[in-house]
Structure 1
Amino acid sequence: MTPESLEKLISMKMPFGKHAGQLLCDLPANYLSWFAREGFPRGEIGELLHLMHEIDHNNLRHLLTHLKK
């Protein structure tokens, strides 16, 4: 995890799927859990989704809230 990856979580939008256009940091927990079960996509988006899942799973979303301000 880098500061740049955290910045991307609060600025990058989901490029595909049911939640296309939604900020990665705002994706619902059940959607992130689905990726964790089924497999994260390859590349940067997969790495960011995995990071967001870890943040959500460890109840750390509040850290991103402070970055969004």
Structure 2
Amino acid sequence: MSVPDLERLVTVTMPFGKYKGRLIADLPGHYLNWLAREGFPRGELGRLLALMHEMDHNGLKSLLDPLRKRE
């Protein structure tokens, strides 16, 4: 995990599915859990979704608040 990865969570939107257009940082926990069970997509998107899942699961979403305020 790096600062650019965290910045991407508050700038990249979900490109498909029920939550298309929503920031990765704003995806609901139940959806992230479902993706974790079904398998994350390949590439950068999957890596970011897995990171967001870990942050959500461990109660660390508030770490993104300072990055949101910079936008």
Q: What is the TM-score of this pair, normalised by structure 2? A: 0.94
Q: Distance in 1 between matches of 2:67 and 2:4?
A: 12
Unaligned stretches of 5+ residues in structure 1:
none
Q: Counterpart in 1 of 2:34?
A: 34
Moved over 4 A (4+): none
Over aligned residue pairs, what C-alpha RMSD do you find?
0.5
Unaligned stretches of 5+ residues in structure 2:
none
What is the deviation of 1:2? 1.0
What is the deviation of 1:67? 1.5
Whether 2:45 is the aligned partner of 1:45: answer: yes
Identical aligned residues as a percent: 59
